[in-house]
Structure 1
Amino acid sequence: MRAPRRRFDISALTELLLGVPTVLSSLLIIALVGRAVTPQALWLLPAVWLASGALVLVPAVDKLLAVLAHRLRKPTRTENVVLEPILEEVCGAAGVDPRRYWLRVQNSKEINAMAVGGHVVGVSTAAMGLPPDQLEAVLAHELGHHLAGHTKISLLRWWYELPARVTVGAVLTVGVGIYVAGHKIGTPTARVVSVVLVLALGVAAVVVSPWVLLVPVIAPLMALQSRRAELHADRVAAELGYGPLLLEVLQRWVRQGHDLHRAQAGLRARMLASHPSCAQRISRLRGK
């Protein structure tokens, strides 16, 4: 059985490239803040911020994000008895040390699993109800994300995009507040002033975060690469020998109606979907 090489695949590299406009906007914002805070050393704050990316790759950060972003918890002793041997089996097939990864559980009635950062493999309590061999296939898929570097790249991109996204979010919040206040006052002057201020804030947001102009293009492309990453993780699981079992899981999801909502969704929703349909995943696993 051939274990996949641990290297970034094209979807991870694509995500890096698609994040460049937003990261550059973040760098511009940090530089403007640095100009105000340390005018004698304009390079200092941007340099510190760029170096701070190394912090999010510290293993302890994975545990923190697992709790804050995904509400994952440590497995109970009973859950560990089930999960640990399965993870060891999957890691053995991939030729990696299972001690590199931490198992976590999400209290959820939906069958789900996730890879977080560079070390966390999480499953839902509903997924714990799968037959052990199918649960093993699900963990193989999540390990595929780790082996390809998907989760590390996503975490790093999120960190470097944070200043730009926070800035735009703050501007939108202030803009909505001004607009609502102007209409609550109710006078024509107040309404005109509120609209002018909102437009001025919008222009300011575009100046310091020009990436917002590219959102209509970047968002569908980012969703596309996310779907490709899922298909890549499926392929890794299949290379490890879990293809037939993963097919069983996907077919179970189809019977439970997972693809019904997607079929009823509009074109925009399908373009922005982060996961491919079960039907597409099944087709790819079957080599069609």
Structure 2
Amino acid sequence: MAGRGLPPGARDLPPGRGGAGLGPVAAVVGAEAVLVAAAGFGLHLVWPVWGAVAVVAVWVVVLAAPLGAGRVYGYREPDSAERVRLAQAWRDVQRRAGAGAYRLVVVDSEELNACMPFGRTVAVTSASARSLPPGRLEAVLAHELGHLLGWRAVPAFVHAQVTLPARALLRALRRSWSPVGPMWRRAVAWHRPIGFVLVFLLALAAAAVTVVAAVPTGAAYAAAWGARLLSRRGEGRADTVAVRLGFGAELVAVVEDRIEHAGEGLPLHLVRRAQGLRRRLG
């Protein structure tokens, strides 16, 4: 809660640490800009002016993709009851982290952790928002914020960048082939050459779309998978942030409570996480 002192052994993050995630993200954007400039120049030689414009336009769409990431993951604004429960805890976590302005959203889930964050948006699950006592809620929020501090923001940013374009490309591939099957059935029913000609033309168009979109679709999904893998490995580092902010004991209590009430089967990932938190506290 606001104003309470740090527990023994805990300390605030260095001043400005909360905004340090902007530096690594800016470096990623700068590297992308260099690659885009090189690709644009190469395409300009093949397709004057419009080649470069096409590359830059695609990059702008990718940069804007995190703005729509909330729709993909089902994020929403907290309702009135959630806002009351979250407000003080979230202020305390941001104050203790020395973090700047972050948007807090809710994802409807019974899980402990929310989906991958993006940009300067931190998500908390509805189960945590409505049921955790204040101290434990702060611990969970500190963990979620920990994903976006320093270089940890890079995997989240990259994942948000490529998720929407990857899904859009895959949808385009599916839709390009979707008329072929029904047209084939019609052609068989018609028993006329025109039906098979239409099937051939549709398949030709779909093949052209596949040739154009297959490589970027595969690259986008590979980048999303890599970013998600790095994010999963970053769970421990986000826990470290929570411990350094003084929320380690409360976070251990949350995780161990989930283990105790897990029902059938032992959640090994939570057991390993609790063990890691105990080591960090030690």
Provide TM-score, normalisation by structure 2: 0.65
Name structure 2 gaps, 5 residues minimum: 1-10
Q: Which residue of 46, 57, 72 corresponds with 2:76? A: 72
For the 8 Å contact 2:173–2:213, the answer to whether it is kept is no
C-alpha separation in 2, matches of 1:67 and 1:213: 22
**1:85 maps onto 2:94 in alignment:** no
Instruction: Tell me if 1:283 matches 2:268.
Output: no
Matches of 1:75 and 1:94, distance apart in 2: 25
Q: Percent identity?
A: 25
Matched, 1:121 2:118: no
Further displaced range: 162-171 or 149-158: 149-158
Contact residue 259 and residue 278 of structure 1 kept, 8 A? no
C-alpha displacement of 1:207: 4.9
1:227 matches 2:232? yes
CA RMSD between the two structures: 4.5
* Distance apart, 1:84 and its partner CA: 1.7
Distance in 2, matches of 1:261 and 1:247, equals 17
Q: How many residues align?
A: 250
- Structure 1 unaligned blocks of 5 or more: 264-276
Matched, 1:166 2:176: no
CA offset at residue 75 of structure 1?
A: 3.7
**Structure 1 residues 185 and 154, CA gap change in structure 2 (3 angstroms):** farther
CA distance in 2, matches of 1:244, 1:117: 27
Tell me, in whole angstroms, the C-alpha distance in 2 between the residues paired with 1:244 and 1:211.
Answer: 45
Aligned to 1:257: 262
* Secondary structure of 1:105 counterpart: strand
1:168 CA displacement: 3.6
Q: Is the 8 A contact 1:102 1:119 kept in 2?
A: yes
| C-alpha deviation, 1:138, in angstroms | 0.3
- 1:246 aligns with 251
* TM-score, structure 1 normalization: 0.64
Contact kept, 8 Å, 2:259 with 2:266, in 1: the verdict is no
In structure 2, distance between residues paired with 1:246 and 1:162:
32
> Who wins on radius of gyration, i.e. which is larger?
2
Distance change >3 Å, CA 220–CA 53, structure 1 → 2: closer
